[in-house]
A and B are shown apart, each in its own frame.
Chain A
Amino acid sequence: MENTVLKIDSFSAYFGDNKILKEVDLTVPRNVVAALMGPSGCGKTTLIRCVNRMHELIPGASVSGKMTLIDEDIYAMQPIVLRRKVGMVFQKPNPFPTMSIYENVIAGYKLNGIRMAKSELDSIVERSLRRSALWDEVKDTLHRKGTFLSGGQQQRLCIARALAMNPEILLLDEPTSALDPKSTSQIEELFVELKRNVTMLLVTHNIAQAARVSDLTAFIYLGELVEFGPTEKMFTVPKDKRTEEYLTGKFG
């Protein structure tokens, strides 16, 4: 399918002998928010960390199966090339503490030694900060350290930093779990806005969040992809009994 950004084919991940993900199949089309939900420890974070190959950085980690990013085999690419095409936002906001807001946004270019004209960098910074809805709040303090911002602003700065690289897909690892309710709703609104141009894979343990922002939802339980489909459908008529039990709060 031409419209597919990410295709995961009977993919398994391991820590040593421990099988964390069991033959997961998942297809993410362009410009949607796909949520991965499930109880803690079910493997949802491991799954997105396999997409940008951060999983393999942990000693003893291994994978099997196939993942493709727009027809390119992820596990045949150089990790550093792959990771420039796949943005990631983490649970805890993590702007670089030694860099200003401006430098943080273009960190992907600066740290990778990609040289550009000042005017070009300026426009990347402005565009990325506008896309992450932070521009109006920081346009006068671009050269202050990013760590002086509030938690929600820091997280939007991290989103801008990921967007600046024009990623094919944005991985969001419980991006609002460390934030207050107001910052959370700002960021959720942002995701809905962003999906016009960006494909997002959102890990969340917040069922309501999955319902609010995602088009597609996958329910993962004990390393198994139980169900994957349009969010509306899953939340109203889940096919699997386990999904229903999870959604009604029987476990997790």
Chain B
Amino acid sequence: MGGHLRGRLVKDLAFKGIVCLFAFLSLLPLFLILYYITKNGIAVIDWDFLFHLPRPIGETGGGVANAIVGTLMLIVLSSVISIPCGITAGIYLSENKEGKLSNTIRLSVIVLQGTPSIVIGIIAYLWIVAPLKTFSALSGGVALSVMMLPVIVKTTEETLKLIPYHLKEASLALGVPYYKTILKVILPSGLSGILTGILLSVARITGETAPLLFTAFGNQFMNINIFKPIDSLPYRIFYYAMSPYPEWHSFAWGASFILVVLTLALNLIARGISAKWKTRF
């Protein structure tokens, strides 16, 4: 009897141990990534690296200023395209829970989310690069905006669905027109959730490389014209890491460090917003 009980306690303990072990193992990759990138990348970061342009092959030094500016521009471009579309679609879905169009949109969003990013790059190439006959920041922004869209639509829908129906009724019963009820009562009440979704979608696309390969293309020089090719941090990492020069390898680590810090910051800000600005109903 006693032995039986002990056997069960041992199994119980073993199970708990295994759960903890695997939980820890799932954390390991993130910490290893952060460790290596910080170790190899942080030494490269200095004034020159952040504010100078890449030098040609054979010269030493130089930086990734053009890639930082390019990535920020791509974020702005894709946000400008995807935020209005995404929020509007999210509003539509939360307002029309049933219906053919709603179901089609929902399914499309899921499929879009699962579409390989390189395919989205090809589509953007066909839409923008081919007709304009040049690689451009614009085409990269379009490709990334298509990638942002599902996240924004989903989070907007989920957030607005949680807003109690009686708030909408309260507004309508005051004689407030439907569109103003949505814009001035419903959207502000869901602001924190929507902002969180936007930041997470930005974090998602910041590190995308594949859709930029044949859209934004990359650029050795500083460019702020959206109709010209533009550089980006992930592309710069790819370019430097593929090179045979040790100095460029360390530059790749440095650019990775910037990228990871940027993504991490976006995620942390998103968490902060959703915790702090949460609307109390």
CB within 8 Å of B: which of A70-101? Answer: 79-88, 90-92, 94-98
- CB–CB A83/B280 < 8 A: no
- CB–CB A145/B280 < 8 A: yes
In the complex, whether B42 has a CB less than 8 A from a CB of chain A is: no
Give Cα distance in the complex from A86 to B167, angstroms: 17
- CB–CB A108/B164 < 8 A: no
Give Cα distance in the complex from A25 to B200, angstroms: 57
Give Cα distance in the complex from A85 to B164, angstroms: 24
Give Cα distance in the complex from A84 to B171, angstroms: 11
In the complex, whether A52 has a CB less than 8 A from a CB of chain B is: yes
In the complex, whether A124 has a CB less than 8 A from a CB of chain B is: no
Given contacts A96-B189, A97-B280, A111-B176, 15 further A-B contacts (CB under 8 A): A52-B173, A54-B169, A79-B175, A82-B175, A83-B174, A90-B170, A94-B164, A94-B169, A108-B174, A112-B174, A112-B176, A148-B280, A161-B174, A165-B174, A165-B175
Query: Which listed segment binds A: B23-31, B53-61, B134-142, B180-188?
Result: B180-188
Minimum CB–CB distance for A83 against chain B, Å: 4
Minimum CB–CB distance for A25 against chain B, Å: 25
Known pairs A90-B169, A90-B170, A111-B184; A97 contacts B281 (CB<8 A): yes
Q: For the complex, would chain B's binding face be called helix, strand, loop or mixed by DSSP majority?
A: helix
In the complex, whether B177 has a CB less than 8 A from a CB of chain A is: yes
Give Cα distance in the complex from A212 to B180, angstroms: 39
Minimum CB–CB distance for A24 against chain B, Å: 21
Interface string of B156-182 (1 = CB under 8 A from A): 000000001011011111111100110
In the complex, whether A169 has a CB less than 8 A from a CB of chain B is: no
Give Cα distance in the complex from A57 to B170, angstroms: 13
- Residues in A neighbouring B279, C-beta threshold 8 A: 97-98
Residue of B nearest to A57 (CB): B172
Minimum CB–CB distance for B95 against chain A, Å: 12
> Which residue of A82, A94, A145, A161 has the most chain B CB atoms within 10 A of its CB atom?
A94
- CB–CB B171/A111 < 8 A: yes
Minimum CB–CB distance for B121 against chain A, Å: 40
- Residues in A neighbouring B280, C-beta threshold 8 A: 97, 145, 147-148
- CB–CB A80/B169 < 8 A: no
- CB–CB A83/B180 < 8 A: no
- CB–CB A108/B175 < 8 A: yes
- CB–CB A88/B171 < 8 A: no
> Which residue of B170, B189, B191, B280 has the most chain A CB atoms within 10 A of its CB atom?
B170
Residue of A nearest to B188 (CB): A98
Give Cα distance in the complex from A203 to B280, angstroms: 28
- CB–CB B185/A111 < 8 A: yes
Minimum CB–CB distance for B54 against chain A, Å: 47
Binding site for A on B (CB under 8 A): 164, 166-167, 169-177, 180-181, 184-185, 188-189, 191, 279-281
In the complex, whether A158 has a CB less than 8 A from a CB of chain B is: yes
- CB–CB A83/B173 < 8 A: yes
- CB–CB A97/B175 < 8 A: no
- Residues in A neighbouring B166, C-beta threshold 8 A: 90-92, 94
- Residues in A neighbouring B180, C-beta threshold 8 A: 111-113
Give Cα distance in the complex from A62 to B281, angstroms: 31
Q: List 14 A-B contacts (CB under 8 A).
A: A52-B173, A83-B175, A84-B175, A94-B166, A96-B167, A96-B185, A96-B189, A97-B279, A107-B174, A111-B171, A112-B176, A112-B180, A162-B174, A165-B175
Minimum CB–CB distance for B90 against chain A, Å: 18
- Residues in B neighbouring A161, C-beta threshold 8 A: 170, 174
Minimum CB–CB distance for A6 against chain B, Å: 16
CB within 8 Å of B: which of A116-166? Answer: 145, 147-148, 158, 161-162, 165
Minimum CB–CB distance for B56 against chain A, Å: 55
Give Cα distance in the complex from A90 to B173, angstroms: 10
Minimum CB–CB distance for B274 against chain A, Å: 15
- CB–CB A96/B171 < 8 A: yes
- CB–CB A111/B174 < 8 A: yes
- CB–CB A94/B174 < 8 A: no
Give Cα distance in the complex from A80 to B179, angstroms: 12
Give Cα distance in the complex from A158 to B169, angstroms: 12
Residue of B nearest to A104 (CB): B170
Known pairs A94-B166, A111-B180, A147-B281; A88 contacts B173 (CB<8 A): yes
Give Cα distance in the complex from A62 to B181, angstroms: 23
- CB–CB A158/B175 < 8 A: no
Give Cα distance in the complex from A39 to B32, angstroms: 65
Minimum CB–CB distance for A148 against chain B, Å: 8
Minimum CB–CB distance for B84 against chain A, Å: 21
Give Cα distance in the complex from A52 to B176, angstroms: 12
- Residues in A neighbouring B176, C-beta threshold 8 A: 80, 108, 111-112
